[in-house]
Amino acid sequence: MRSAGPTNLGRNGGSASHTVNEDWPVSLHHSHHAEFVRLGRPASWTGGIPASWATALIDYEGGPLPTSTITRADLRAFCRSPDTTPEACFVACMAWGMMRGKNRRLSWEQRHLWVPIVERLREGGISREAAYALFHEADIPGLRTAFFTKLIFFLRPNPDGYILDQWTAKSVSLLFVPQFITINRDGWVTPANDANVYRRYCEIVEHLAQVGVEDATVIEEKMFAGGRKVQPWRQYVREHWRR
């Protein structure tokens, strides 16, 4: 699961050593990063309509839901409102992320497992890696990394727990070596990634923000590169990421 292109350290290679955390040196791949700077743009993702998404849940009683597509800012405001129930927060985040099929049913049936975690996140006072560990250790059917990190991002008071899905994971795997996020042959982020991996991922996002002198949430949006039309950076990742 290596990225294409040079990965040697030193002036003749494609990478240079950068200290993101003293415990683990990583190398920024210069050519891929140059393309990220050139092609990356924040994603105007609005996902699905929460009220419509909930119609597939025969026993939803979580209160009012947005009846149109919502932006990241809209979703965060909805989830941070004290008038919004934990169930409504969950539905809105999953609809925004376009969760489909059996995962919708499976995760909803296990709400007795995630409601307490959702409540804990909204209260605050929990670090991003501790929040990740709660979901990771609960091993909730239908609720994998790409979706529970959306809950971490939108529910905690501090939005520094970034979404880790296949596109942000593949982006980081192109931009930095050695690769440390486990991605399976189908291209999905696997449960093998524990809270320590998530911490490293978040620190990488913040390091890129420092390099680019912009907000870390913008960096994550640029790596996601979603929207109704395929964005240039996502197309670049499709062409260059290798299993």
Q: What pLDDT shows up at residue 9?
A: 28
Q: What is the pLDDT of residue 81?
A: 97
pLDDT value at residue 23: 66
pLDDT per 10-residue tile (average), the chain, 243 residues: 35 47 77 96 88 95 97 96 98 96 95 98 98 98 98 97 97 94 95 97 96 93 86 95 79
131: burial class by Cβ within 10 Å (0-12, 13-18, 19+)?
buried
Q: What is the pTM of this model?
A: 0.90
CB atoms within 10 A of CB 37: 13
DSSP 3-state of 176: strand
Q: What is the rounded distance in angstroms from the CA atom of residue 167 to the CA atom of residue 225?
A: 8
What are the tokens at 75?
């979703």
Q: How far apart are CA 110 and CA 166, in angstroms?
A: 24
Say what the pLDDT of residue 243 is: 66
CA distance 32 to 36: 6
So what's the pLDDT on residue 141? 97
Distance CA 87, CA 189 (A): 25
Residue 65 has a pLDDT of 98
Helix (H, G, I), strand (E, B) or coil at 66: coil
DSSP string, 3-59: PSS----STTSSEEEEEEETTEEEEEEHHHHHHHHHH----------HHHHGGG-TT
Q: Evaluate whether 203 touches 21 at the Cβ level (below 8 Å).
A: yes
